[in-house]
Amino acid sequence: MKKTPSRRATTKMRAEYDFSAGVRGKYTDRYRSGTNLVLLDPELAQAFPDSKSVNDALRAILAVAMRTDVHKRP
């Protein structure tokens, strides 16, 4: 049995989509400077469903770490 061609393969780009003057990577540096992407393991992703919960947890850990550093004996 033959597969029917996918819609994506049969459609051509429309004439109004003109990328001939486009510049590849124009905003790459700007994007990278403001974005930090961290991939969580699946079990952690369940515990932290959104970026706010991850940020809150990291701030709490940082606060504890900063407190313990201040009280260490030389």
Q: Note the pLDDT tens digit of each residue in 38-63.
A: 889 999 999 998 989 999 999 999 99
Alpha-helix runs per DSSP H in 12-72: 28-33, 42-47, 51-70
- The answer to whether 48 touches 40, Cβ cutoff 8 Å, is yes
Residue 61's pLDDT is 95
Q: How many whole angstroms separate alpha carbon 16 and alpha carbon 18? A: 6
pTM beyond 0.75, yes or no: no
pLDDT band at 70 (very low <50, low <70, confident <90, very high): low
pLDDT: is 31 or 73 the higher one?
Answer: 31
| CA geometry: angle 20, 24, 26, nearest 5 deg | 115
Residue 44's pLDDT is 92
The domain limits of the chain are 14-70
